[in-house]
């Protein structure tokens, strides 16, 4: 039995280092499938018994975070809001800085400076000190350790100077207060930017929060969509959002499904049609029965995918994480060495030695490294989602960016999946109406595009009705059936020697009954997509279970040179593995028979109208069946990876340049604190640029 996944809402995480503290704590407890998303304020894990949960929550809170029921309902006290802490610090820091330029002599008095600085220092100790202490206790020292040590050193040094009346050269109260104020300013920017990067998920969550009109004993009761149960009858009027997934019982409506498909043209719905929660009724009204509610709805699953994707780390981040983890102890060591060398070897005074050491501490911000990847991934995923592309993992982005091959299934992927019967050839004097009846009875039980088209194509033609006892679909082969009289039927391709235009065979009791010729249309945008892929130096490949002559015909029409036809699901796996050995491989497919290949490929991509199995097997779902979204997906992935690399370069380069400058004494601690906050803003700003950036 699978272990239960525990989900906790944790507030108080403000950077990747916070997330790593919790991750390390949970790892030490032997928990599995750990996922900590600092931006989404979520922690998930499995393993451990239910009795352990109170202890785990207590230990997470022991690190300085808070476990809450619902972050949206959590009211942050006035004094705990980061914006208010910053304003309080800024008001008191201003006179400490102004004493350098204003002729007010009382501001030069060390006791006055101490009185003004003390509240800021206490605030800094409570805000950064608690987090610093808990992070050291948890074995993952975070950036707050540097801020706390730096500001405390400046304050204590100044306090000793004031008590012993050592004069102005020992007054650094403004340094202590400014460090705290500027870092709080950086935290304010960070909080706002992170909330912008997570806006895609928040927008989707808002869509879920609607009311539903429940039909009870002929009357209407308004309830929250959360309280709807499967089997409930709901009334949805013009202008309303469909509250949950379900089926239409009565009425007609035009429903805008653009939030799922990106397609703005409304879809007409009538009795028995499926409707999806969160879509909008633009015209008409319907009564529906709820089939999927809560976490089972399409929208809830999309939100879950987005959250998982935001938390999944690309390999490129692992380097950043490793550096961030050893960074804080390394910086403290560099600061100590700087102090010793400046004081003893450089024969500088205590004042200069201490200032240089403090400058090293406050300039070294691993936060920029921690933010480099998650912010870019969040914005990239959000932009993809707005274009109807659901990516199931941040690590997917990196695999896609290096793709060398894109392998396409043919039916329903490169072709429309709308088939027409060109010809039915009856064998051995069989009755054509009886053949049509057998085909309809069997294919009614399948979701395959060919099956649906056959049923639709035959619905107006005369046929003999057949009652079936059982029908079974065989992956990549066709359908087996048995009627109430015990006759056995097979309809499909299999490995049959179907010749010429005919591509399906119907057997009755292992005797050939008919040959059927079926054709489908190529999607109008397919040729353009193949041309675009070739421009991007990606090799397109066709991999299908269909006959070689048909696959070749489609490949020639749209410009694909590499063709693998007549492949069963297990044979498709072998082909995918061969391509994977040569380079990163993306597989795009839509049917149950593609599911193993989608899982095997470096990245599996499925269409929204695919079978549920294909959607679950793929790491990317294209909600818009237009193939142009494949190019958009590749472009977004490439630009997201480029943004991550730019962010990491900036974060590394900044620290490599800034630390030696600070150690050599060319950087005032206040300038260092400002530069540190600025580095976070640059990284986040570069990530946000991805929202509007022109993709090429």
Residues 6+ apart with CB under 8 A from 532: 631
How many secondary structure helices (H) and strands (E) does the chain include? Answer: 23, 24
Q: Burial level of 328, CB count in 10 A (0-12/13-18/19+)?
A: buried
- Of 109, 95, 110, 152, whose CA–CA distance to 128 is shortest? 152
* 478-483 and 468-474 beta bridge pairing: antiparallel
Reading the block at residue 672, the tokens are 């260092």
Q: How many Å apart are CA 347 and CA 335, to the nearest integer?
A: 17
And the tokens for 560? 């694909």
β-strands 584-589, 403-408 pairing: parallel
Question: Minimal CA–CA distance to 198: which of 62, 32, 374?
Answer: 374
CA atoms within 13 A on the CB side of 525: 12
- DSSP string for residues in 61-111: HHTT-EEES-GGGPPPPGGG-HHHHHHHHHHHHHHHHHTTTS--GGGG-HH
Q: Give the number of C-alpha atoms closer than 13 A to the C-alpha of residue 72, restricted to the C-beta side.
A: 4
Cα(189)–Cα(201) distance, integer angstroms: 20
Q: Which of 509, 510, 515 is nearest to 486 (CA)?
A: 509
Which residues are within 8 A (CB) of 309 and not within 5 positions of it... i.e. 6 or more apart? 377, 381, 391, 392, 393, 394, 396
CA 139, CA 143: separation in Å to the nearest integer? 13
Distance CA 198, CA 370 (A): 16
Cα 690 to Cα 31, 230, 380, 635, 638, distances in angstroms: 35, 40, 7, 11, 11
In which element (H, E) is residue 553 found?
A: helix 548-558
Helix 367-386 and helix 394-401: axis angle, to 10°? 80
Question: Tokens in use for 454?
Answer: 């056959």
SS3 139: coil
User: Catalytic positions, please?
Assistant: 409
- Residue 583 contacts residue 560 (beta carbons within 8 Å): no
Task: Return the DSSP state at 391.
Answer: E
């Amino acid at each position: 039995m699978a272990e239960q996944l525990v989900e906790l809402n944790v507030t108080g995480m403000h950077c990747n280092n916070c997330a790593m503290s919790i991750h390390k704590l949970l790892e030490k407890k032997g928990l599995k499938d750990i996922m900590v998303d600092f931006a989404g304020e979520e922690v998930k894990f499995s393993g451990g018994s239910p009795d352990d949960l109170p202890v785990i929550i207590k230990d997470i809170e022991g690190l300085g975070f808070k476990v809450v029921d619902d972050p949206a309902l959590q009211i942050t006290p006035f004094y705990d809001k980061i914006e208010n802490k910053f304003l309080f610090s800024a008001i008191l820091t201003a006179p400490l800085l102004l004493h350098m330029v204003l002729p007010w002599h009382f501001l030069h008095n060390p006791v006055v400076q101490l009185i003004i600085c003390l509240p800021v220092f206490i605030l800094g100790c409570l805000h950064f000190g608690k987090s610093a202490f808990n992070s050291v206790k948890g074995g993952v020292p975070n950036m707050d350790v540097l801020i706390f040590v730096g500001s405390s050193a400046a304050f204590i040094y100044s306090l000793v100077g004031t008590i012993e009346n050592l004069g102005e050269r020992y007054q650094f109260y403004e340094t202590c207060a400014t460090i705290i104020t500027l870092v709080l300013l950086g935290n304010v920017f960070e909080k706002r930017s992170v909330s912008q990067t997570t806006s895609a998920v928040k927008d989707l969550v808002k869509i879920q929060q609607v009311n539903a009109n429940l039909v009870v004993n002929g009357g209407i009761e308004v309830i929250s969509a959360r309280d709807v149960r499967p089997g409930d009858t709901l009334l949805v009027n013009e202008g309303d959002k469909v509250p949950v997934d379900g089926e239409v019982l009565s009425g007609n409506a035009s429903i805008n499904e653009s939030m799922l498909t990106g397609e703005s043209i409304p879809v007409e719905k009538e009795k028995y049609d499926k409707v999806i929660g969160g879509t909008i009724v633009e015209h008409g009204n319907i009564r529906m029965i709820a089939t999927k509610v809560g976490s089972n709805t399409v929208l809830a699953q999309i939100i879950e995918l987005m959250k998982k994707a935001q938390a999944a780390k690309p390999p490129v981040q692992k380097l950043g994480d490793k550096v961030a983890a050893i960074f804080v102890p390394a910086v403290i060591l560099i600061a100590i060495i700087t102090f010793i060398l400046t004081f003893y070897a450089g024969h500088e005074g205590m004042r200069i030695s201490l200032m240089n050491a403090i400058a090293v501490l406050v300039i070294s911000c691993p936060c920029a490294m921690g933010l480099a990847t998650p912010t870019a991934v969040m914005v990239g995923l959000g932009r993809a989602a707005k274009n109807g592309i659901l990516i199931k993992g941040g690590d997917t982005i990196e695999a896609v960016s290096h793709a060398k091959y894109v392998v396409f299934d043919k039916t329903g992927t490169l072709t429309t999946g709308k088939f027409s019967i060109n010809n039915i050839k009856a064998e051995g004097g069989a009755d054509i109406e009886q053949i049509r009846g057998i085909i309809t009875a069997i294919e009614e039980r399948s979701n395959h595009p060919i099956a649906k088209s056959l049923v639709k194509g035959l619905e107006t033609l005369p046929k003999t009705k057949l009652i079936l006892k059982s029908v079974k679909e065989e992956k990549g082969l066709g359908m087996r059936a048995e009627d109430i009289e015990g006759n056995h039927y097979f309809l499909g391709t299999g490995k049959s020697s179907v010749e010429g235009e005919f591509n399906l065979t119907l057997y009755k009791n292992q005797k050939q009954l008919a040959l059927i010729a079926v054709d489908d249309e190529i999607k109008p945008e397919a040729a353009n997509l193949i041309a675009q892929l070739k421009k991007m130096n990606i090799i397109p490949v066709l991999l299908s279970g269909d006959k070689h002559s048909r696959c070749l015909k489609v490949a020639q029409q749209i410009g694909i040179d590499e063709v693998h036809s007549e492949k069963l699901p297990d044979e498709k796996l072998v082909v995918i593995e061969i391509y994977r050995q040569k380079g990163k491989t993306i597989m795009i497919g839509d049917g149950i028979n593609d599911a193993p290949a989608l899982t095997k490929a470096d990245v599996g991509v499925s269409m929204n109208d695919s079978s549920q199995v294909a959607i679950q097997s793929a790491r990317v779902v294209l909600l818009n069946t237009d193939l142009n979204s494949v190019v958009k997906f590749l472009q977004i992935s490439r630009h997201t990876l480029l943004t991550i690399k730019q962010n990491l370069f900036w974060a590394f380069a900044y620290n490599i340049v800034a630390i030696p400058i600070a150690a050599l004494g060319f950087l005032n601690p206040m300038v260092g604190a400002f530069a540190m906050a600025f580095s976070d803003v640059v990284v986040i700003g570069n990530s946000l640029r991805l929202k509007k950036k022109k993709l090429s």
